[in-house]
Amino acid sequence: MKDWFLLYCKRSEQERAVVNLERQSVTCYYPQVTVEKLVRGKRVTANEPLFPNYMFVRFDPEQVSYTTVRSTRGVADFIRQGPYPQKVQPELLHQLMMNENSEAHREKLSNLPKPGESMELQRGQFQGLEAIYQEPDGEKRSFMLIHLLGKPVKVSVDNADIVRR
């Protein structure tokens, strides 16, 4: 009977492990989410593992041995409870698969504002001023357009100081 188990993979080798495990008729699943993040000051959309270095696998231990799965390239070991690999409830996997790329989940992970969006600065030297988001400035800062002395001025502020209106 096929059961789900949790594997710990070597760093950044989940893709390699999937390819090698699927050749052995092992079903693999590692939830991924699409996130927007800043890379070198530019907004990039990328798929990232929800649980880095962890993967769910489903196989019949009578047909494929634990040792074979554990020895596969990219795999470090099973997550164990005592001497035996820990079984994972299928309901948990079903729930993860249903929520993996839901719109609500994606919205939580992608919280960068869009250019032209109206914001309010809640801390720092520009506290209380209304600003218009312009573009990212590194990983933790953004350029905002504020009105100072009747003229628009482009300033760089910490992302933690910004609140959407």
pTM score of the predicted model: 0.61
27: Cβ contacts below 8 Å, ≥ 6 apart:
2, 57, 58, 59
150 & 100 share domain: no
Residues 141 and 83 in one domain: no
Residues 127-149 have a mean pLDDT of 71
Do 58 and 37 sit in the same domain of this protein?
yes
What CATH number does residue 81 fall under? 3.30.70.940
Beta bridge partners of 163: 120
Query: In this predicted model, what pLDDT tens digit does every residue of 87-126 receive, in sequence order?
Result: 999 998 888 888 775 665 555 545 667 777 888 877 777 7
- Taking only the tens place, the pLDDT of each residue in 46-71 is 888 888 899 999 999 999 999 999 99
pLDDT, position 153: 78
- Cα–Cα dist 111/129, whole Å: 21
Torsion angle defined by CA atoms of residues 76, 12, 47 and 29, in that order, rounded to the nearest 10 degrees:
-20
Non-local (6+) Cβ contacts of 96 within 8 A are 29, 31, 50
Q: Is residue 142 packed enough to be buried (19+ CB in 10 Å), middle (13-18) or exposed (0-12)?
A: buried
Q: Do 19 and 62 belong together in one domain?
A: yes
Neighbours of 66 (CB within 10 A): 15
pLDDT at 71: 94
| pLDDT, average across residues 123-151 | 72
List the CATH number of the domain containing 152.
2.30.30.30
Q: What range defines the domain where residue 152 resides?
A: 118-164
Show the tokens assigned to 68.
Answer: 């074979």
DSSP state, 147?
A: E
Specify which residues 143 forms β-bridges with: 135, 156
What's the chain's length in residues? 165
pLDDT band at 145 (very low <50, low <70, confident <90, very high): confident
131 and 92 housed in the same domain? no
66-85 per-position pLDDT tens digit: 999 999 999 999 999 888 89
- 97 and 123, same domain (yes or no): no
- Residue 159 to residues 43, 66, 121, 162, Cα–Cα distance (Å): 14, 47, 9, 6
**Structure confidence at residue 139 (pLDDT):** 56
